[in-house]
Structure 1
Amino acid sequence: MTKQNGEAPARRIVLVANVAAGSLVDGGLTPETLRARLEAAGLAVVPEPRPEASPPDRLAAAAELPGIDAVAVAGGDGTLACAAQALTGQAVPLGILPLGTMNLLARDLGIPLDLDAAIAVLAHGSLRPIDAGEVNGHVFLINSVLGLPARLARHREAKRGRMGLADLLRMAAGLLRHLGRYPRERAVLTLGDETRRIRFRTLAVVCGDYREGLGQVLSRAGVDGGHLTLYLVETLSAARLVRLGLGFAVGEWRRLPDLERHEARALTLDARRRALRVMNDGEVVLIAPPLRYRIRPVALRVLVPAEGAR
Structure 2
Amino acid sequence: MRVAVVLNTSAGSLLGVDDAEAAIAEAFAVRGFDATFEPDDGRELNDRMDAAVAHGADAVVVGGGDGTIACAVQRLAGTGVALAVLPLGTANLFARDLGMPLDDIGAAVEAIAGGNARDIDVGEVNGHVFVCNSVLGLASRLAKRRERFRGSFRVRDWWAFLVSAWRGLVRYPAMRLELEANGRKRVLRTRALTVVDGDYEEGFGRMFSRSALDDGRLVLYVAASLTPWRAVVLGVRMAFGRWRDAADLERFEADAFTIRSRRKSVRVMNDGEILLLAPPLAYRIRRGALRVIVPPRLEAPGDATTAPASGDAALPAATGRAPANAGLAA
Question: How do 1:23-38 and structure 2 match up within 5 A?
Answer: 23-38=13-28
Is 1:171 aligned to residue 161 of structure 2? yes
Distance 2:25 2:173 in 1: 49
Distance 1:228 1:163, change over 3 A: farther
Q: In structure 1, what is the equivalent of residue 233 of structure 2? A: 243
Question: How do 1:262-277 and structure 2 match up within 5 A?
Answer: 262-277=252-267
Q: How high is the TM-score relative to the length of structure 1?
A: 0.90
Q: In structure 2, what is the equivalent of residue 43 of structure 1? A: 33
Q: In structure 1, what is the equivalent of residue 101 of structure 2? A: 112
Q: In structure 2, what is the equivalent of residue 131 of structure 1? A: 121
Distance 1:119 1:190, change over 3 A: same
Q: In structure 2, what is the equivalent of residue 95 of structure 1? A: 84
Q: Find the partner of 1:210 among 200, 220, 240.
A: 200
What is the Cα deviation at residue 133 of structure 1? 0.8
Distance 2:226 2:207 in 1: 19
Q: Find the partner of 2:9 among 13, 19, 39.
A: 19
Which segments of 5 or more consecutive residues in structure 1 lack a partner in the other structure? 1-10
Q: In structure 1, what is the equivalent of residue 283 of structure 2? A: 293
Task: State the secondary structure of the residue aligned to 2:38.
Answer: coil
Post-superposition CA distance 1:226-262 (Å, at most 9, x none): 1111000121112222221222121111111220111
Task: State the secondary structure of the residue aligned to 2:274.
Answer: strand
Distance 2:14 2:158 in 1: 22
Q: Find the partner of 2:74 among 64, 69, 85.
A: 85
Task: State the secondary structure of the residue aligned to 1:161.
Answer: coil
What is the Cα deviation at residue 263 of structure 1? 1.1
What is the Cα deviation at residue 105 of structure 1? 0.8
Is 1:73 aligned to residue 62 of structure 2? yes
Q: How high is the TM-score relative to the length of structure 2?
A: 0.85
Distance 2:186 2:297 in 1: 45
Q: Find the partner of 2:249 among 259, 262, 282.
A: 259
What is the Cα deviation at residue 64 of structure 1? 3.1
Distance 1:25 1:49 in 2: 16
Task: State the secondary structure of the residue aligned to 1:240.
Answer: helix
Q: In structure 1, what is the equivalent of residue 133 of structure 2? A: 143
Is 1:224 aligned to residue 218 of structure 2? no
- Native 8 Å contact 2:3 2:35 kept in 1: yes
What is the Cα deviation at residue 163 of structure 1? 4.1
Task: State the secondary structure of the residue aligned to 1:236.
Answer: coil
What is the Cα deviation at residue 308 of structure 1? 8.6
Identity of aligned residues (%): 47
- Native 8 Å contact 2:149 2:161 kept in 1: no
One-letter identity of the residue aligned with 1:157:
E
Which segments of 5 or more consecutive residues in structure 2 lack a partner in the other structure? 300-305, 307-330
What is the Cα deviation at residue 182 of structure 1? 2.8
Moved more, 127-136 or 242-251: 242-251
